[in-house]
Amino acid sequence: MNAPTLPSHPPATGAGLVSGRGLLSEVVLTSLRTGLPPAYETETVQDADPWGEDLQLALYLLYELHYRGVDGVEDSREWDPDLLRLRQELEARFLQALRADLANGPRTVAEAFDPILVEPVDLSDSLSHQLEVAGELWQLREYAALRSLYHLKEADPHVWVIPRLTGRAKAAMVAIEYDEFGAGHADRIHARLFADLMSDLGLDPTYGHYLDQAPAQVLATVNLMSLFGLHRAMRGALVGHFACVEVTSSPGSRRLARAMRRCGAGPSAEHFYAEHVEADAVHEQVVRHEVIGGLLADEPDLEVDIAFGCAATLLLEDRLAEYIKGAWLQQQSALRAPLA
């Protein structure tokens, strides 16, 4: 019997093809444009900088095939074996670097989460604090453009963990995601609220619009949750990532809401972060006690993976914050090309 022929339509709302940033990303782009297998040597991947622009963009584009697709690329290429083989090699290089940098990282949930449950007294190094007290409108616009790669797909990769959970963990995860997706109201979906924020700031809210301008530090934060989400073996790490985001979101969102208000960014810009102050404070309790607690009750061996997911999230968020602060300290754009 012949295998069924799947429909293969180019997506109308996916990310656009962008400029390459090196050999690997050019290989991916050429393959996506032509439909031919990616032409590369395994040694090229092994020698690539795991944190560099080239590898992170190549991985981002391959992951995007599992979200809304890439403009002009047939949907069927999501499961192209040659692209999947390249993606697997890129993932291995990325994951190897993460594990190396976190070799002395936390091994238990308590070690991973206890330090972030209480806000530090000194917030001088906090990017959200700096934006709250002294941020300028151009910096808020850049911050939103950078964050759009995540927030316009907010909560999407975390949905992949739901069929991999059972009992308490599954029920609690679904409850939180229901809120993330607007509790049945399309205009309250968090990704939609962020698009409204971007419009208030005079930014283009089109999905993936700022991909070409996003540096590797931004791509890595999004690639991390895609990596965790697409692999059942990393379900513990994805729960750790999700929990870390929810635990740290509320205080930072409060500061960013104040920054938006102080700079006159607009009601939708302020509302996005104000919405997250209350919602994520509730989500924090549910995710720690029910999602993590339920998962550990079912699969206690996943504790080290949950801790790793949290630590990896903090590692990449800290690197991104340091990059942005460093650029702004020099009065330079944190984007690869300044906003118009």
Provide the mean pLDDT of the chain. Answer: 94
- pLDDT tens figures, 226-273: 999 999 999 999 999 999 999 998 899 999 999 999 999 999 999 999
Hey, is 70 helix, strand or coil? strand
Output the pTM of the full model: 0.94
The answer to whether the beta carbons of residues 63 and 230 sit under 8 Å apart is yes
Find the mean pLDDT for residues 308-316. Answer: 98
User: Which pLDDT does position 1 carry in this prediction?
Assistant: 45
User: Which pLDDT does position 140 carry in this prediction?
Assistant: 97
User: Is the pLDDT reported for residue 9 higher than 60?
Assistant: no
Hey, is 15 helix, strand or coil? strand
- Higher-pLDDT residue of 190 and 3 is 190
Q: What angle do CA 177, 180, 186 make, to 5 degrees?
A: 115
C-alpha separations of 183 from 150, 176, 247, 253 in Å: 20, 9, 21, 20
Tokens of 274: 């104000």
User: Is the pLDDT reported for residue 219 higher than 60?
Assistant: yes
- pLDDT tens figures, 320-339: 999 999 999 999 999 999 99
Rounded-to-10 torsion of CA 39, 45, 48, 52: 80
CA torsion sign for 167, 172, 173, 179 is positive
Any alpha helices (H) in the chain, and if so which ranges? 23-34, 42-47, 53-64, 81-101, 109-113, 127-134, 137-151, 156-159, 167-180, 190-200, 216-229, 235-262, 267-286, 293-298, 303-329
Specify the residue for token string 């991985």.
59
The answer to whether the beta carbons of residues 165 and 173 sit under 8 Å apart is yes
C-alpha separations of 231 from 64, 163, 167, 238 in Å: 15, 12, 20, 9
User: Which pLDDT does position 46 carry in this prediction?
Assistant: 96
> Taking the mean position of all CA atoms in its chain, how far away is CA 184?
23
How far is it, in rounded angstroms, from Cα 81 to Cα 85? 6
Check if CATH label 2.10.260.10 holds for domain 109-329: no
Sorted by sequence, the CB contacts under 8 Å of residue 299 that are 6+ apart come out as 236
DSSP state of 77: G
- pLDDT tens figures, 153-178: 999 999 999 999 999 999 999 999 99
Confidence band of 183 (pLDDT split at 50, 70, 90):
very high
CA torsion sign for 162, 168, 172, 174 is positive
- Higher-pLDDT residue of 185 and 6 is 185
User: Which pLDDT does position 162 carry in this prediction?
Assistant: 98
Q: List the single range of 55-59, 105-109, 285-289, 326-330 with lowest mean pLDDT.
A: 285-289
- Residue among 220, 207, 225 nearest 15 (CA): 207
Q: List the single range of 182-196, 272-286, 325-339 with lowest mean pLDDT.
A: 272-286
Q: What angle do CA 205, 211, 212 make, to 5 degrees?
A: 120
How far is it, in rounded angstroms, from Cα 335 to Cα 211? 10
All structural domains of the chain with their residue ranges = 23-101, 109-329
